[in-house]
Amino acid sequence: MLEIQNLSKTYKNGTCALNNVNINIGKGMFGLLGPNGAGKSTLMRIMATLQMPDSGFLNFEGISVLNTPIELQKILGYLPQSFGVYPKISAEKLLDYFGLLKGISSKGERQKIVQHVLELTNLFEVRKKSVSGYSGGMKQRFGIAQLLLNNPKLIIVDEPTAGLDPGERNRFLNVLREVGSENTVIFSTHIVDDVSELCNDMAIINKGEILKHNTPKQLIKKITNKVWTKNIATDAIERYQENYHLLSSGFNADNSMNIRIYANNEPEDGFVHATANLEDVYFLSLNPNKKQ
């Protein structure tokens, strides 16, 4: 269990990135969902011992993250939002080198673990190819392979799916799913589907504050029967925005619009219940006080 208490961080320019964050994160896949600038990377970097908060307390299975960062680093795997371009060296050789840096001194042991992480991340077939020639998704999977070398218990992955095409994203999420069954995996994203497809626990963060923390299922359950949908003419959108709690809108093929509204009762004639989803929860959390 990772316990986070009263965590705050304000940057020198006055931006408050985290405002008294309190959260406990258990084993399995945890998704930290929030828009750009919400504070996700700041929180991830603090959890990964790369940045100090102004105040607060973090504890992972008896290890004080802030007081004994070296202890945490022994069991930590961290994949930053972006990582450097690798030289023209094969994945297999690079992993062997990282293994050495991580203190696996026996060549035989390194070979075994390198083969294992290459297989786990579906990179075994391309192990002899240069990492600098890998696609975006392959690079991200390589990032997971390297963090697995020291068999971490706590894995922190910062916005790994940003910029991946759907096929690569799926392959990446499958790898993460496999890894998450054994460990605590915390990953941040602004993509709602990443969380709904993958996580057994999640939080929504915005402006440095945790707005919601629960399982995706429970969060959706709380708004069941309160999401309504209707197709409307495009020029009517302002009226609905003005009068109702509009969650989201999108265009239909015939250029009409489909809107989703949050309301206890049918907003007006023509609305039907929509099956509530995590995107509704997300938009509602970000804008909780609109007209109902």
Ligand X SMILES: Nc1ncnc2c1ncn2[C@@H]1O[C@H](COP(=O)(O)OP(=O)(O)OP(=O)(O)O)[C@@H](O)[C@H]1O
Binding residues for ligand X, how many (CB under 6 A)? 13
Radius of gyration of the chain (CA): 22
Cβ–Cβ < 8 Å for 15, 67:
no
What CA–CA distance (Å, rounded) separates 91 from 27? 29
- The residues in 176-195 that bind ligand X, with binding defined as CB under 6 A, are 190
Question: At 157, which helix (H) or strand (E)?
Answer: strand 154-158
Q: How far is the CB of 258 from ligand X (least distance, A)?
A: 27
Cβ nearer to ligand X, comparing 36 with 264: 36
Q: Which among 29-37, 54-62, 244-252, 278-286 is the span making contact with ligand X, rule CB under 6 A?
A: 29-37
- What is the pattern of x (binds ligand X, CB under 6 A) and - over residues 31-60? ---x-xxxxxxx------------------
Burial of 257 (0-12, 13-18, 19+ CB in 10 A): middle
Q: Name the minimum Å distance from CB 167 to ligand X.
A: 23
14 contacts ligand X (rule: CB under 6 A): no
| Phi then psi dihedrals of residue 273, to 5 deg | -65, 135
Q: How far is the CB of 81 from ligand X (least distance, A)?
A: 6
Which region among 11-19, 125-133, 235-243, 249-257 touches ligand X (by CB under 6 A)?
Answer: 11-19
DSSP 8-state class, residue 26: -
Closer Cβ to ligand X, 13 or 105, answer by number:
13
Under 8 Å between Cβ of 260 and 227 = yes
Nearer to ligand X, 4 or 126 (CB): 4
Q: In the complex with ligand X, which residue's Cβ is closer, 42 or 184?
A: 42
- Residue in the block written with tokens 């009762």: 265
Instruction: Considering only the stretches 10-18, 64-72, 91-99, 136-144, report the one whose residues sit in contact with ligand X under the rule CB under 6 A.
Output: 10-18
Q: Which is nearer to ligand X, 11 or 251 (CB)?
A: 11
**285 membership: H or E segment, kind and range:** helix 278-286
Selected from 2, 17, 211, 278, the binder of ligand X by CB under 6 A is 17
User: Would you say 81 or 214 has its CB closer to ligand X?
Assistant: 81
| Rounded Cα gap, residues 57 and 22, in angstroms | 9
How far is 80 from 146, CA to CA, in rounded Å? 12
The only residue of 11, 217, 236, 243 in contact with ligand X, by rule CB under 6 A = 11
Q: How far is CA 240 from CA 232, 257, 269, 288, in A?
A: 9, 11, 13, 16
**Residue 15 found at the interface with ligand X (CB under 6 A):** yes
- Measured from the CB atom, the residue of 38 and 95 that comes closer to ligand X is 38
If one counts every other C-beta atom within 10 angstroms of the C-beta of residue 195, the result is 26
Number of H helices and E strands in the chain, helices first, is: 10, 14
Which C-beta is closer to ligand X: that of 39 or that of 216? 39
Site of interaction with ligand X (CB under 6 A): 11, 13, 15, 17, 34, 36-42, 190
